[in-house]
Amino acid sequence: MATVAGPAGDLPASVGQRLLWVLERFRGDQGAANVPIVLRLRGPLDHGLLAEGISALATRHESLRTTVAGRGRRLAQHVHAAPELVPIPVVELDAPKDSRDAAIEAAVLGEIGKPIDVESWPTRTTLWRLDDQDHVLCFNMHHAATDGWSCGLVLRDLSLLTDAKRPPLPEVGWQYSDFCAWQEEWLRGERAKAAHEYWERQLTGAESPGVPLRPTPAGAPRVDGSVSADISAHTVAALQRVARARRTTLPTVMLALYYAVLHRATGEDDLAVASFMANRADARAQETVGLLANMLVLRTRMKAVSGFDDLVRRAHDTVMAAYVHQGLPYQLLPAAAFQEADRRADDVMFQMIPQQDVPRTVAGAAAEAVVVDNLGTRFEAEFQLYQRFGAIRAVFFFNAARLERRWAADLLADYVALAARAAAGRDVLSGD
């Protein structure tokens, strides 16, 4: 198998890992830092080849064998040597055929609800067996070792590394430690200075949207909640045409719709929502597995907006400017921004997750993605859109200890309705 092994040793934690460490302690952790890949595997599964592939993933990508430990400024990552082949234990999942989907969901939720101890190892693999021809694989990663882009790389590599024909893999380019070294140098340069100046102009005086979050008593436990709905493939196809006609992207149109529903729900015209960008402008990072994604704040002013086309244009300008300046880490945003004591810049999140290219086979078995809506979140109100099979699954995750479920459900219903209006060519802001 083609693998690339990076060096072993201790390194300072990356800026992304340090932010994640803070978020986990501020928000609380009930598995919200888990990033699972879950596959239903049907047909003859080669268990030995699967174990080889999982081990080869960690050999090829050093972040999958990197632990993170310490506190604050002493937080450090330790890159371990490539692991020996470790057999994957099989957990029997005894359920009648007509209730297997429910049994799988319960088992997966139990697994992803358990935090990964990243001080011990950054990944955890579970294989459930329903019968000889039916298995479920959960490759669970701590967010300190991965991000959304990385999940696509892991999926592809797992398929290739468990292919008996041993097809070649693309060159990795940067390992995560290479990216971290580059980032530290970039932060000392002129491009980082220019990015800081941009964000200072863009964010000074910004506020997170006035979502009705209740204060929570000190020490009160976090309660994760979620509501979900589907946007049909027909509607999504129409929205893609809307995006092409306006020379922008589908995620930008979906962001504009989010601004519209927040405006309707809060009455505010100046809206700033947090989101993640891949942060892989350098071609050497295209094949890197690790926490490269950077959280940004997308601020758009709706005052005097002349209609949905104008809102899409403004959202497009916001996204493009953020893309150009995406390299500045979130925790280095200007201190003058977000001075309201009761609002955090990351209280309200928006994220559109592109459909992953699920491999056709893994270790000889046909692979199918298992989508789990009930993942936790580290944020107070996180609106996520998942593309799959041409449609979109919209999920609003929220802290139920601070936000009423009814409010979240109403916002989601309004979003789906406005998406349908935009797809039909009706102005989502006019109210007709």
pLDDT of 6: 45
For strands 365-369 and 90-92, give the pairing: unpaired
Query: Rounded distance, CA 432 to CA 419, Å?
Result: 14
Nearest to 126 by CA among 114, 136, 141: 136
With contact defined as beta carbons under 8 Å apart, do 428 and 263 qualify?
A: no
- Who's near 347: CB < 8 A, 6+ residues apart? 208, 209, 211, 213, 274, 379, 380, 381
Number of H helices, E strands in the chain: 10, 15
pLDDT of 430: 72
**Furthest C-alpha separation in the chain:** 64
Query: Rounded distance, CA 9 to CA 16, Å?
Result: 19
Nearest to 12 by CA among 197, 184, 225: 184
Return the top range by mean pLDDT from 22-26, 204-208, 366-370, 374-378.
366-370
Helix 250-266 and helix 233-245, axial crossing angle in degrees, nearest 10: 100
Compute the average pLDDT of residues 192-205. 93
Query: Rounded distance, CA 171 to CA 323, Å?
Result: 26
Higher pLDDT, 28 or 31: 31
Helix 148-161 and helix 47-60, axial crossing angle in degrees, nearest 10: 130
pLDDT tens per residue across span 336-362: 555 555 667 888 999 998 777 778 899
Higher pLDDT, 122 or 20: 122
pTM for the predicted model, two decimal places: 0.89
Residue 58 identity:
A
Span of 16-25, 160-169, 305-314 with lowest mean pLDDT: 16-25
Span of 18-22, 48-52, 285-289 with lowest mean pLDDT: 18-22
The three-state secondary structure class of 337 is strand
pLDDT of 223: 84
Beta bridge partners of 362: 365
Nearest to 17 by CA among 33, 3, 41: 33
Which domains, from first to last, does the chain contain? 9-177 (3.30.559.10), 189-356+372-423 (3.30.559.30)
Residue 170 identity:
P
For strands 90-92 and 123-131, give the pairing: parallel
Burial class (CB in 10 A: 0-12, 13-18, 19+), 421: buried
Q: What are phi and psi of 96, to 5 degrees?
A: -60, 155
Higher pLDDT, 207 or 134: 134
Query: Rounded distance, CA 60 to CA 5, Å?
Result: 5
Query: Rounded distance, CA 397 to CA 381, Å?
Result: 6
Span of 137-146, 215-224, 280-289, 318-327 with lowest mean pLDDT: 215-224
With contact defined as beta carbons under 8 Å apart, do 141 and 116 qualify?
A: yes
Query: Rounded distance, CA 48 to CA 86, Å?
Result: 10
Render 22-85 in DSSP notation, one character per residue: HHHHHH--SSTTEEEEEEEEES---HHHHHHHHHHHHHH-GGGGEEEE-SGGG-EEEEPPPPPP
The mean of the pLDDT values for the chain is: 90
Compute the average pLDDT of residues 120-147. 96
Residue 317 identity:
D
What angle (nearest 5°) sits at the alpha carbon of residue 228, between those of residues 224 and 233?
150
Q: Which tokens sit at 135? A: 């298995």
Q: Which tokens sit at 14? A: 């990356």
pLDDT of 8: 54
pLDDT of 373: 63
Query: Rounded distance, CA 312 to CA 315, Å?
Result: 5
pLDDT tens per residue across span 313-336: 999 999 999 999 999 998 887 755
pLDDT tens per residue across span 235-275: 999 999 999 999 999 999 999 999 999 999 999 999 999 99
Compute the average pLDDT of residues 400-416. 96
